Chain A
């Protein structure tokens, strides 16, 4: 069974640009969660989608948005990039809602903003 796939693996952007990250969950999983990871801050929750509906959103500005498609694939978008957006972005899929079941994480997208 294929794991969670995130693309691209690495991204380099400049301030002011926008970026779209993609996440393909494990087949059959309906929940996709997104996290931002930076040194010392751990895993900061961005948002979770379940069956195409956003369940919850973390404390991030409106520049961070996401969506989930009918096949459960998810994308997150960051507009007007800032230097502080440089981070590893992880997505995780689960069969059930994230607080009820086991999360399977992808390898992440390393975003560098110059």
Chain B
């Protein structure tokens, strides 16, 4: 029941935009997004609850469509500091632990 992320990797130039998708085969009530920079621990970006609300962090926003069981992370006018691997997390077992997708590696070039 691991969520599926796409694309697996993306390369951008500074200032370009990107979209990272996360989909699940099961019904969701929340989606969590984290970013991990090389050699560092993952860091929380945002949680989205069902209702389709969008959240934002810097120039990063996300949407959650519970009917389609998917979420998208939008990176606008990317900066070098956005480089890293982005993980989405969804509820896993019967008691709701958090499980993550395999990640999307984002590289922003000057």
Known: A99-B30, A99-B91. A107 touches B41 (CB 8 A): yes
Asked if B110 lies at the interface with its beta carbon under 8 angstroms from chain A, I say no
Known: A40-B102, A41-B102, A43-B87. A99 touches B96 (CB 8 A): yes
Q: Please tell me if the beta carbons of A97 and B96 are within 8 angstroms of each other in the complex.
A: yes
Q: Please tell me if the beta carbons of A56 and B41 are within 8 angstroms of each other in the complex.
A: no
Instruction: Please give, as numbers and ranges, the residues of chain A lying within 8 Å of B103 by CB-CB distance.
Output: 42-43
With the chains together, A107 CA to B102 CA distance in Å? 19
A-B contact count (CB 8 A): 69
Q: Which single residue of chain B is at the shortest CB-CB distance from A92?
A: B42
Residues 50-98 (chain A) with a chain B CB within 8 angstroms: 55-58, 90, 92, 97-98
Q: Which single residue of chain A is at the shortest CB-CB distance from B102?
A: A42
Most buried by A among B41, B42, B94: B41
With the chains together, A65 CA to B30 CA distance in Å? 28
- Nearest chain B CB to A106's CB is how many angstroms away? 6
- Nearest chain A CB to B86's CB is how many angstroms away? 11
Q: Please tell me if the beta carbons of B92 and A56 are within 8 angstroms of each other in the complex.
A: yes
Residue count of chain B within 8 Å CB distance of chain A: 24
Q: Say which size band chain A's interface belongs to.
A: 20 to 34
With the chains together, A86 CA to B34 CA distance in Å? 23
With the chains together, A70 CA to B105 CA distance in Å? 38
Known: A43-B87, A103-B44. A56 touches B100 (CB 8 A): no
* Chain B contacts to A: CB under 8 angstroms: 2, 30, 32, 34, 40-44, 47, 87, 91-103
Given contacts A43-B42, A104-B44, 19 further A-B contacts (CB under 8 A): A4-B41, A42-B2, A42-B87, A43-B103, A45-B92, A45-B97, A45-B98, A56-B94, A57-B93, A58-B92, A92-B42, A97-B97, A99-B92, A99-B98, A100-B96, A101-B47, A102-B44, A103-B98, A106-B41
25 inter-chain pairs at a CB distance below 8 angstroms, sorted by A residue, are A33-B98, A41-B102, A42-B100, A42-B102, A43-B42, A43-B100, A45-B98, A55-B93, A55-B97, A56-B92, A56-B93, A56-B96, A56-B97, A57-B93, A58-B92, A97-B96, A98-B98, A99-B91, A99-B92, A99-B97, A100-B30, A102-B44, A103-B34, A103-B42, A105-B43
